Amino acid sequence: MREATTVEALGAAHAWRERLQRALLDDRFVLHFQPIVSLASGEVTCHEALIRLDDEPNGTLVWPGRFLPFAERSGLILEIDRVVLEKVLALLAARAVRGPDGSPTEVTVNLSALSVSDPSLPGRLERRLELHGVDPSLLILELTETAAISDMGAAGRFCARALELGCGVALDDFGAGYGSFTYLKQLPFSHLKIDGQFIRRLPLSRTDQLIVQALARVVRGMGRETVAEFVSDERTLELLRGYGVDYAQGFELGTPRPMLAFAR
């Protein structure tokens, strides 16, 4: 039984590798954007770029949770990250990422551990920013704790270089792992995204309230900004405003959609 399961898993991995390779060749990756709202002004100041795979026969999109694990194990995630960055830079150059009032917004892009550890990425990013004529301050690069702790030295160098270029750096899913405060202390960053596990039940959990309050206070004291993820109700928004959290995203504020949908 175990041998059959292993063979089946290997077959699935091989099939996904071929599927992702075809998708890269045929430009089948598309981006949806979820708004990030300033809790001070109520305005959409940023969007998070979220990848989808458009190769289902019936036209439905494949969500990243299905294909990114295979992309990471196969190493294709490096190429996929480059595709996402290129698409985002092209949209920023065209001033196509806009808020409801029509004004351009910043865009955040998630990067894999392999990309964060790639010493050639900062130089490539600098060249692409110059080629597209994009203001670096409009781009925020996100890395998760997993990406950071896989090679803390490389992550630190990447964060420092990205900030030197004028980009933002967001530490994503903060609190999801066990070494969070270590990398909060060691890595340079501009934004910290509080993991949804502390936000989903915020009105009901005194523990979560204390943790979010403490994080907002610490990060503000460091001169950085906080973003709360997975906000799904008005009561949570009220609490976050009271705690001094700077930004929020979640279904209460907007679902991920193609950028053209925001213009309607």
In order of 84, 111, 123, 190, 197, the CA distances from 142 in angstroms are: 13, 6, 17, 10, 18
Write down the pLDDT at residue 225: 97
Q: Does the global pTM surpass 0.85?
A: yes
Neighbouring residues of 207: CB distance < 8 A, sequence distance ≥ 6: none
Write down the pLDDT at residue 186: 85
Amino acid letter, 66: R
At how many degrees (to 10) do helices 234-243 and 206-221 cross? 40
Write down the pLDDT at residue 264: 38
Measured CA to CA, the distance from residue 143 to residue 161 in angstroms comes to 14
Write down the pLDDT at residue 10: 62
Write down the pLDDT at residue 177: 66
Tens digits of pLDDT across the chain (264 residues): 555 456 556 667 889 999 999 999 999 999 999 999 999 999 999 999 999 999 888 889 999 999 999 999 999 999 999 999 999 999 999 999 988 888 889 999 999 999 999 999 999 999 999 999 999 999 999 998 777 777 888 899 999 999 999 999 999 988 776 656 777 888 999 999 999 999 999 999 999 999 999 999 999 999 999 999 999 999 999 999 999 999 999 999 999 999 765 543
- Evaluated on CA atoms 110, 115, 117, 118, the torsion sign reads negative
Write down the pLDDT at residue 260: 64
Neighbouring residues of 14: CB distance < 8 A, sequence distance ≥ 6: none
Structural domains in the chain, CATH included, are 2-263 (3.20.20.450)
